[in-house]
């Protein structure tokens, strides 16, 4: 059997409702570990997962994706005696020395106050034998060995970074406009990290956008499901709407009108799936449709709060997150979405709401928008990585 120790994040700062956040984190973790025999315990700011060695890969994949922890480690456990602690620390130090570590320090935490030695004394005692293998360096060591004295003792060295944030499901539900680009998956992840469940909508203009472009978006939805546990993708056939825009809208307004029509569909879908807001990957000033004036036009047509989690980020910051959540390589695949294919050479930069209302009225696309919504396809993505095309188009609204 192997034991993993995970450190809880900001949810520990909650007050009287802390147990609700802890319960949600436990439930999410158990969902991700479905299919293996794993024991999950949460106590005093730590979550412990115990499973068979053969299931360690799934346990570690879960810990790398579960939202609500700041870090995790594979730990050795021992009895609460200084002799057992010294033996376990030395065993880990031998492994580290074999890997080339020359210097070390020990960092102890005594959560169990009945233990007869304090944290400093534990460090001094445990370091004695290790000095035969490596030199002590408390300022810049090659490795750190952690000792936590709790209901039993946990000893570990390699601490992995967690995703932080809040457990998914504690902050309502949002509808994400998911394209095949870099920005929208990152926007979705950032809202998942704030505890929000997401459902996704993708606008597909076949044959102007290829089946490969849709597959790319499906792959991105699956990667988001590794963090969101369950994610639904609504594929909206948008060719007819887009052709009407090209035919009737002033060329400079075509991209902005496309976003307005997307927002109209999103309004219908958000109401159907019980979302409380709409999420986009817009970043202020990044492209012509994302000037403050044009973003104001888009927001005017939204019937739900419009969240833009990337609004103040630059491209490098977005790319860093895309690499962290493993969406970057998928996002840069050369399959263009419907926004790119019909982009005008000289788009309007400072659209006015009154002009947008008049142009949209002249498009006369309300019936086409409703039809595109009715003809949508829904694909369910889960943490297990097995997508399922739904024929039932009612709100799934799963917990």
What ranges do the domains of the chain cover?
A: 2-161, 173-390
Average pLDDT over residues 344-364: 94
- Given pLDDT bands bounded at 50, 70 and 90, which one contains residue 399? very low
- Residues of the chain with pLDDT > 90, as a percent, come to 83
- The token pair that represents 374 in the structure block: 């009715």
Q: Rounded to 5 degrees, what angle do the CA atoms 248, 203, 226 make?
A: 160
Alpha-carbon torsion 332, 309, 394, 267, what sign?
Answer: negative
Cβ atoms of 76 and 154 closer than 8 Å: yes
- The token pair that represents 88 in the structure block: 């376990």
Query: What pLDDT does residue 337 have?
Result: 66
Cβ atoms of 179 and 219 closer than 8 Å: no
Q: Rounded to 5 degrees, what angle do the CA atoms 337, 338, 341 make?
A: 95
Query: What pLDDT does residue 206 have?
Result: 86
Query: What pLDDT does residue 395 have?
Result: 57
- pLDDT for residue 75 is more than 80: yes
Q: Looking at the domain that runs over 2-161, which CATH code has it been given?
A: 3.30.2130.30
CB neighbourhood size of 222 (10 A): 19
- pLDDT for residue 397 is more than 60: no
Query: What pLDDT does residue 338 have?
Result: 59
Query: What pLDDT does residue 339 have?
Result: 58
Alpha-carbon torsion 107, 109, 115, 121, what sign?
Answer: positive
Query: What pLDDT does residue 289 have?
Result: 86
Query: What pLDDT does residue 208 have?
Result: 81
- Given pLDDT bands bounded at 50, 70 and 90, which one contains residue 340? low
Judged by average pLDDT, the poorest of 134-138, 253-257, 286-290 is: 286-290
Cβ atoms of 46 and 4 closer than 8 Å: no
CB neighbourhood size of 90 (10 A): 18
Q: Looking at the domain that runs over 173-390, which CATH code has it been given?
A: 3.40.50.620
Average pLDDT over residues 38-55: 93
Query: What pLDDT does residue 15 have?
Result: 87
Distance CA 211, CA 283 (A): 27
Instruction: Count each helix (H run) and each strand (E run) in the chain, helices first.
Output: 14, 16
Distance CA 288, CA 151 (A): 58
- pLDDT for residue 359 is more than 80: yes
Distance CA 247, CA 362 (A): 11
Query: What pLDDT does residue 223 have?
Result: 97
The chain-wide mean pLDDT, for the chain, equals 93
Average pLDDT over residues 68-86: 95
φ, ψ (nearest 5 deg) of residue 273: -95, 10
Do 2-161 and 173-390 agree at the fold level? no
Put simply, whether the predicted model's pTM sits higher than 0.95 gets the answer no
- Given pLDDT bands bounded at 50, 70 and 90, which one contains residue 29? very high
Average pLDDT over residues 356-382: 96
- pLDDT for residue 65 is more than 50: yes
Distance CA 230, CA 16 (A): 28
């Amino acid at each position: 059997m192997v034991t993993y120790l995970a450190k809880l994040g900001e949810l520990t700062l909650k007050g009287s409702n802390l147990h609700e956040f802890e319960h949600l984190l436990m439930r999410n973790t158990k969902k991700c570990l479905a299919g293996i025999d794993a024991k999950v315990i949460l106590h005093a700011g730590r979550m412990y997962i115990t499973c068979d060695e053969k299931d360690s890969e799934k346990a570690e994949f879960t810990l790398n994706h579960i939202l609500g922890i700041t870090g995790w480690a594979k730990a050795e456990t021992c009895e609460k005696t200084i002799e057992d602690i010294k033996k376990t620390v030395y065993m880990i130090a031998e492994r580290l020395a074999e890997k080339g570590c020359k210097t070390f320090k020990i960092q102890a935490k005594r959560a169990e106050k009945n233990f007869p030695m304090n944290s400093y004394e534990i460090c001094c005692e445990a370091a004695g034998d290790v000095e035969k293998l490596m030199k002590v360096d408390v300022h810049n060591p090659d490795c750190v060995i952690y000792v936590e004295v709790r209901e039993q003792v946990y000893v570990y060295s390699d601490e992995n970074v967690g995703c932080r944030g809040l457990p998914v499901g504690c902050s309502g539900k949002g509808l994400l406009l998911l394209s095949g680009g870099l920005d929208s998956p990152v926007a979705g992840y950032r809202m998942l990290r704030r505890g929000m469940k997401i459902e996704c909508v993708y606008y597909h203009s076949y044959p102007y956008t290829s089946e490969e472009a849709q597959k790319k978006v499906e792959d991105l939805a699956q990667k988001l499901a590794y963090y969101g546990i369950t994610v639904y993708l609504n594929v909206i056939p948008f060719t007819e709407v887009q052709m009407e825009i090209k035919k009737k809208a002033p060329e400079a307004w075509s991209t902005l009108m496309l976003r307005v029509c997307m927002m109209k569909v999103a309004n219908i879908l958000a109401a159907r799936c019980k979302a409380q807001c709409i999420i986009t990957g817009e970043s202020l000033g990044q492209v012509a449709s994302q000037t403050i004036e044009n973003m104001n036009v888009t927001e005017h047509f939204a019937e739900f709060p419009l969240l833009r989690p990337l609004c103040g980020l630059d491209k490098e910051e977005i790319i860093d997150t895309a690499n962290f959540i493993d969406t970057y390589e998928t996002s840069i695949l050369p399959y263009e979405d419907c926004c790119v294919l019909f982009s005008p050479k000289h788009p309007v930069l400072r659209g006015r709401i009154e002009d947008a209302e008049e142009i949209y009225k002249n498009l006369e696309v309300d019936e086409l928008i409703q039809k595109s919504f009715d003809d949508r396809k829904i694909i369910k993505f889960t943490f297990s990585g097995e997508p399922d095309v739904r024929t039932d188009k009612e709100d799934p609204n799963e917990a």
